[in-house]
Copies of this chain bind each other. A is one copy, B any other.
Amino acid sequence: MKAKVYITPKQGILDPQGVAIERSLPALGFEGVANVRVGKYIELELPAGDGAADEVDKMCHKLLANPIIEDFRFELETE
């Protein structure tokens, strides 16, 4: 089964990348863009099963995300 993991900087935590992109957009002709936040999007495949959600949750906590400064959520898809 496939897992899609979305990782975003925690609210209130500085996101230097987002700020830099936001500041550069007007020069490229994109006006009025705000609140740019840059996170990660991870796809992976794992063995299907009841425990899959638990597994992915653990994976996020331990490795994929940094829970101290990042939030995450994920979706599971069975093909």
Contacts and interface: CB of A to CB of B under 8 A. Distances in A.
Interface residues on chain A, size class: 20 to 34
Contacts of A43: 8, 35-37, 39
B33 A46 contact: yes
A36 B35 CA distance: 28
Given A39-B42, A63-B21, A55 B30 contact: yes
Contact of A39 (B18, B36, B40): B40
A10 to B, nearest CB: 13
12 contacts: A6-B41, A8-B43, A21-B63, A24-B63, A25-B59, A25-B63, A30-B46, A35-B44, A36-B42, A36-B44, A38-B40, A39-B43
